[in-house]
């Protein structure tokens, strides 16, 4: 893995992890579903325009359209929609930790549902990751975390896991950036319906809201996606996914730095165990690739 790939992987992990803190700032002054709908409208249109400028087409294969719709609904609408709603009552660090377990859940589901074989290192990583999650959630529940918000984050990461398993390999054949832009527009349409059905939009204009919304639209929304696809094309999806082990650390560190969220020793220990579990799973996959 060359230095450019390493720097790109670190940048991706940093941008992905920062999204939880910016989302927490947004929902303090704006209704979550309406704000996310607008974010995806802007990100999706920009993504499609950029993809068109690069010569990509929206004439997708049937598998690509299926991936676009499934991922647009499950990741962009269900996963992020539930996380935005949840972060009205729970801390960004908690949401980041739960979302960071996605690689572990994908490996677990692949083993239980798809009957994929797991190496001993993967099994050890899964066990360690789940123990880390249990340690953190145990301290949070006894500390009075909002259980509804916690449940929404759990449902969200399960939806993301299902989407990841459902569309593996379905985006092959090019037009990656166009697919991403269209996925965002699918999420926008789904969230617009959810907003009309379940939410009374609210808005308290503020500079932090404007900064956080602009940041989350352009950086985690677009830039991180572009960097991810560049990284996958350069070193492959298995090696690129190794950088996910940084997400628990970075997610809680950014939330602590910008939002002043407090973390105890057990929280930090749990984050370290989860990160090592994710790294073990990804390294095991890399050896088998």
pLDDT in tens, 23-45: 999 999 999 999 999 999 999 99
What was the pLDDT predicted at 286?
63
C-alpha to C-alpha distance for 140 and 137, rounded to whole angstroms: 5
Tell me what the mean pLDDT of segment 82-100 comes to: 89
Beta bridge partners of 203: 30
Distances in Å between the Cα of 21 and the Cα atoms of 103, 202, 220 are 21, 20, 11
Quick check: helix, strand or coil at residue 56?
coil
Helix H segments across the chain? 3-29, 32-53, 62-71, 80-86, 92-99, 102-112, 120-142, 147-166, 176-198, 207-218, 224-235, 237-241, 247-259, 265-288
Res. 152: pLDDT tops 90? yes
Question: How is 57-107 classified by DSSP, letter by letter?
Answer: -S---HHHHHHHHHHIIIIIIIIHHHHHHHTTTS-HHHHHHHHTTHHHHHH
Average pLDDT, the chain: 83
Mean pLDDT of 258-265: 81
Average pLDDT for 52-69: 82
Q: What's residue 256's pLDDT?
A: 86
- For range 210-239, the mean pLDDT: 81
| pLDDT tens digits along 207-216 | 999 999 999 9
Tokens (6 digits) for 247: 């997400």
- Specify the pTM: 0.85
Q: Is 203 helix (H, G, I), strand (E, B) or coil?
A: strand
Structure confidence at residue 187 (pLDDT): 93
- Predicted local confidence at residue 169, as pLDDT: 56
């Amino acid at each position: 893995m060359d230095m450019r790939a390493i720097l790109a992987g670190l940048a991706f992990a940093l941008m992905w992890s920062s999204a939880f803190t910016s989302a927490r700032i947004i929902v303090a002054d704006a209704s979550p579903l309406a704000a996310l709908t607008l974010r995806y409208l802007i990100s999706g249109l920009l993504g499609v325009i950029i993809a068109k400028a690069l010569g990509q087409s929206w004439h997708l294969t049937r598998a690509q359209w299926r991936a676009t719709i499934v991922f647009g609904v499950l990741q962009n609408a269900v996963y992020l929609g539930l996380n935005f709603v949840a972060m009205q009552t729970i801390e960004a660090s908690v949401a980041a930790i739960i979302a960071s377990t996605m690689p572990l859940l994908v490996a677990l589901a692949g083993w239980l549902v798809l009957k994929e074989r797991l190496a001993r290192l993967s099994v050890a990583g899964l066990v360690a990751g789940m123990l880390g999650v249990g340690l953190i959630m145990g301290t949070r529940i006894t500390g009075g975390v909002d259980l509804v918000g916690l449940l929404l984050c759990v449902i969200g990461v399960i939806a993301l896991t299902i989407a990841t398993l459902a569309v593996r390999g379905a985006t092959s054949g090019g037009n990656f950036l166009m697919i991403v832009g269209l996925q965002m527009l699918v999420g926008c349409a789904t969230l617009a319906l959810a907003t009309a059905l379940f939410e009374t939009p609210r808005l308290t204009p503020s500079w932090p809201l404007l900064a956080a919304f602009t940041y989350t639209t352009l950086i985690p929304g677009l830039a991180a996606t572009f960097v991810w696809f560049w990284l996958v094309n350069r070193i492959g999806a298995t090696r690129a996914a190794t950088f996910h082990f940084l997400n628990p650390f970075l997610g809680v560190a950014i939330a602590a730095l910008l939002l002043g969220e407090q973390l105890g020793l057990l929280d930090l220990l749990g984050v370290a165990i989860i990160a090592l579990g994710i790294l073990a799973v990804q390294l095991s996959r890399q050896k088998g690739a």
